[in-house]
Structure 1
Amino acid sequence: MAILAIDADALAVDPLWLVEQLRLGHLKGIGEVERLLMTEPDSANSLLTWVAWRPGEALGAKLAAVFPGNEGRDAGPNIRSVVVLFDGQDGRPEAVITGESFTRAKTAADSALGASLLARPDAETLAVLGAGAQAETQIRYLLAVRPSLRRVAIWNRSGDKARSLAAGLAISGVEIAAIEDAEAAVRAADIVSCVTASATPVLHGHWLKPGTHVDLVGSFTPEMREADDETMRRSRLFVDTRRFTLEGCGEFTQAIAAGAIAAADVVAELAELCAGAAGRRSADEITLFKNAGGGHLDLMAARAFLAFARPG
């Protein structure tokens, strides 16, 4: 069979369907996962290589070039990626997936699965800190798993980007607006999603009201962080994987180094939540989910995209 070339940007994938594919994938187990991160000297540019292997079923690799300055100088998206999927029985290449929608959808589905297991079912207001390329997909996926949401407030350091994103989103029954004050957006929110590439916190724990669910997406190195130590201290902590979060995400590495939290404070990772581990314990508890990514998520999503795109 020929290798299938899939343009993820051309596929109209239902958010709830992809979230369910990730849930089912986690119930089968993560398999073997590795990560290589290369960073350009004296630059924020990096190359991520995620590889994963589910023995006997499938294996794959995603290469993602991350150039955070692209959007600011109209050079295209900050993240460009390609995924290669192999058959797990004989190593035959099955598909090559291109298009930025793949990583955006996978990332948003990861967060949405976490929110479906941790956010209050009556959540009404979503605050999004960051208005880059990931933000719109993040909003659509979170709205899909929490249809109770009726308001979305978008904050960005560049107010023009937040206003442009808000103006371009039209979702029935949902009020969407840009907001100049991040603190005001967070104080009113039931769910806070951070999708920045910040090296300093944009979210401060004393802003959070009881019952909030926090979704951290942007950081993937020890030098990056979106939430301060107080956010970490006040929250019941969950991650997609302990390995990549505790090793590589600044919210955790820096808070642990400062003594604000310990690695043992992570209650569960996503596979454990999917299998029934206890999540939110009360309506007033603050929950936090760190979306660190991983090749196992790319492998699950790639197999789902292949099944969606394969003729017949």
Structure 2
Amino acid sequence: MKHFDEAATAAPLGFDRLVPALRAAFAAEAQVPPRHVHSIETGGDAATRGTVLIMPAWSDAGFLGIKTINIFPGNGARGLPGLHATYVLYNARTGVPLAMMDGNEITARRTAAASALGASFLARADARKLLVLGTGRIARMLPAAHASVRPIDEVRVWNHRPEGAEALAEQWRSEGWNAQAAGTDLEAAVRNADIVSCATLATTPLVRGEWLAPGAHLDLIGSFTPAMREADVQCFDGTRTFIDTPEALQKAGDLLDAIAAGTLRADAVQGTLAELCRGTRPGRTGDAERTVFKAVGSALEDLSAATLVWQARANP
């Protein structure tokens, strides 16, 4: 079995390759069973509670993949990432293990790529102002991901710890981005953004619907359980809402809250990422409309990324 460390896993996953690969994967067919979710509590300390996800998928191309991902929100206070993952790729016809890959890189890159894929259908064609909420591994990749599908030339970042936002903005500037920290005025930053992308582990809403400008696109990719939420219920009122997979309607606290409040009906969701990629549902239909993309992640995205990594070994 081959082993791909962080650098070897990341190398083939540039967004110019990964976003089109995800688009092709969602347009095609694959087997993606529901994820297994387990709560972890050790020692009775709330700060050490976590969630384990087990996410399998396989395709007619002959690959089977299983990702194990551990999410511990309390890690931020320890100076540790909140997410750790491993990925194992197998031959789907024999079950033979092919490779162990860095699941953190796969998760972060495929999540950012799915965010950009959603925006390719839902953000205005001239969207250039990106606001990122969060400073974690996924958040750091969002400017590059969105710039692969939209003419992003201004990036702002907000974090509940302002020093974290300042540090990330400085890092982005060193990479050539026109980037600034949003400071403490999140409302002003949201009102000024063409795309608002949330990549946090928040359990209380951060973005308010009244702040979203006409024509804005709200991208919610951080929360993935009923207890997590990044947007208030008004964010879904009068918007066209899309989801990555039907599972989002059971897993996303943002959506569950909005449905309970009556600002969103489950049957009023405009479509899934697969329907957008297949062309069976329209994306944005006007420059003034507000759009929302809510993603909880799919094992199909992981499998697509891992397949790119595996195939790159034969064509370096």
> Could you state the TM-score of these two structures normalised by the residue count of structure 2?
0.92
Matching residue within 295, 298, 304 for 1:300: 304
Counterparts of residues 243-262 of structure 1 (less than 5 Å): 244-262=247-265
Counterparts of residues 3-18 of structure 1 (less than 5 Å): 3-10=1-8, 11-12=10-11, 13-18=13-18
1:112 aligns with 2:116: yes
Letter paired with 1:255: A
**Unpaired segments ≥5 residues, structure 1:** none
Letter paired with 1:6: F
Matching residue within 46, 50, 54 for 1:49: 54
Counterparts of residues 152-301 of structure 1 (less than 5 Å): 152-170=155-173, 174-180=177-183, 181-242=185-246, 244-276=247-279, 277-301=281-305
How far the C-alpha of 1:128 sits from its partner, in A, is 0.9
Counterparts in 2 of 1:4 and 1:172: CA distance versus 1, 3 Å: closer
Structure 2 residue aligned with 1:123 = 127
**2:55 and 2:66 in contact (8 A); partners too:** yes
Partner of 2:200, secondary structure, is coil
**1:56 and 1:89 in contact (8 A); partners too:** no
CA distance in 1: counterparts of 2:148 and 2:60, whole angstroms: 32
CA distance in 2: counterparts of 1:173 and 1:78, whole angstroms: 27
Counterparts in 2 of 1:310 and 1:65: CA distance versus 1, 3 Å: farther
How far the C-alpha of 1:210 sits from its partner, in A, is 0.7
Q: Deviations over 1:56-83 (max 9, x none)?
A: 6222110001111223212x32111111
How far the C-alpha of 1:235 sits from its partner, in A, is 1.6
CA distance in 2: counterparts of 1:154 and 1:89, whole angstroms: 45
Partner of 1:23, secondary structure, is helix
Partner of 1:33, secondary structure, is coil
CA distance in 1: counterparts of 2:3 and 2:195, whole angstroms: 37
Letter paired with 1:9: A
How far the C-alpha of 1:202 sits from its partner, in A, is 0.3
CA distance in 1: counterparts of 2:263 and 2:103, whole angstroms: 39
CA distance in 2: counterparts of 1:149 and 1:281, whole angstroms: 21
How far the C-alpha of 1:255 sits from its partner, in A, is 1.3
CA distance in 2: counterparts of 1:16 and 1:117, whole angstroms: 16
CA distance in 2: counterparts of 1:235 and 1:192, whole angstroms: 14
Range that drifts further, 176-185 or 55-64: 55-64
How far the C-alpha of 1:311 sits from its partner, in A, is 5.8
Letter paired with 1:125: K
CA distance in 1: counterparts of 2:77 and 2:40, whole angstroms: 19
How far the C-alpha of 1:40 sits from its partner, in A, is 2.2
Root-mean-square deviation (CA, aligned residues, Å) is: 1.7
CA distance in 2: counterparts of 1:108 and 1:165, whole angstroms: 16
Aligned residue-pair number: 307
How far the C-alpha of 1:259 sits from its partner, in A, is 2.0
CA distance in 2: counterparts of 1:137 and 1:33, whole angstroms: 28
1:23 aligns with 2:26: no
Matching residue within 77, 91, 94 for 2:95: 91
**Unpaired segments ≥5 residues, structure 2:** none
Structure 2 residue aligned with 1:138 = 142
CA distance in 2: counterparts of 1:204 and 1:30, whole angstroms: 36
Identity, in percent, stands at 39
CA distance in 1: counterparts of 2:315 and 2:75, whole angstroms: 35
> Could you state the TM-score of these two structures normalised by the residue count of structure 1?
0.93
